[in-house]
Amino acid sequence: MTAQRFAGQTVIVTGAAHGFGRAIAHAFAWEGANVWACDMNTEGLGETARLAHHDGLTLQTRAVDVGDSTAVAAFVAEAVAGTGRIDVLVNNAGGVRGQVGRPIEDISPADWQAIFAVNVDGAFFFAQAVAPHMKARTSGRIINISSGAGLGISLTGIQAYASAKAAQIGLTRQLAHELGAWGITVNNVAPGFVRSNPTTERQWESYGEEGQKKLLDGIALKRLGTSEDIANAVLFFASEQAGWITGQILSVDGGK
């Protein structure tokens, strides 16, 4: 049996109710980590735990609003109390909060802030909460999950989503320089379009046959990826092999 790369490590994964987050949480659990997974979608989070237990894996799951700094701090404190350490933080929580593309004049301040809260504020609050524990151990890995939208434009047409993902990439680079002196790396995975959750399924269907073909034709490998492709990139950044890599954005998109 292959040695488990993250045996004994404590890993926090946000947005773990489905899609990327579920795949990432399960991948770390398979690799021996003590995984603490959170989401506001308690039904989906329960399914993440059920599937893990079916495979003989153990996950701790909690309902946490990543935009609530007090709730984030409490969750991190509980994980530390339970395991004595935090080795890896994966800021995967994000998305469009049920919004669709609309003209800029139709966007309310609340709509704008809701998307920033989950995509940027959450990443900041979690990094802020784990940093002291990682500094004390002079090691740690923070991996943020952004999007191709943060490097270009959003296929959804949602202004706040493209802006928030770009901001998260900026946060990644800034924290990499701030935390590097303590042996903490901060990197970013920017997925391309993946059919990974109900929102992306609706988006895929909305393109129709012609739009789907156009999307695939624009990908070098001429196919969509999977949530496991994203999880593999995250595990690389969290591994010893990525120990001298920080402040980087890895596009996992089949080639553009």
**Which pLDDT belongs to residue 198?**
87
Angle between helices 69-83 and 122-137 in degrees, nearest 10: 30
134 residue type, one letter? M
Parse the chain into domains and list their residue ranges: 10-96+105-247
CA-wise closest residue to 32 among 79, 82, 74, 88: 88
39 vs 173: CA distance, rounded Å: 25
Position 2 scores a pLDDT of: 61
Active-site residue set: 161
Across the strands, what pairs with 14? Answer: 38
Residue 60: per-residue pLDDT: 97
E strand map for 92-234: 140-145, 184-191
pLDDT in the model for residue 1: 47
SS3 108: coil
d(CA 51, CA 59) in angstroms, rounded, equals: 10
| Tens digit of each residue's pLDDT, the chain (256 residues) | 467 999 999 999 999 999 999 999 999 999 999 999 999 999 999 999 999 999 999 899 999 999 999 999 999 999 999 999 999 999 999 989 889 999 999 999 999 999 999 999 999 999 999 999 999 999 999 999 999 999 999 988 999 999 999 999 999 999 999 999 999 999 999 999 999 988 889 889 999 999 999 999 999 999 999 999 999 999 999 999 999 999 999 999 999 8
pLDDT at 182: 98
Homologous superfamily in CATH for domain 10-96+105-247:
NAD(P)-binding Rossmann-like Domain (3.40.50.720)
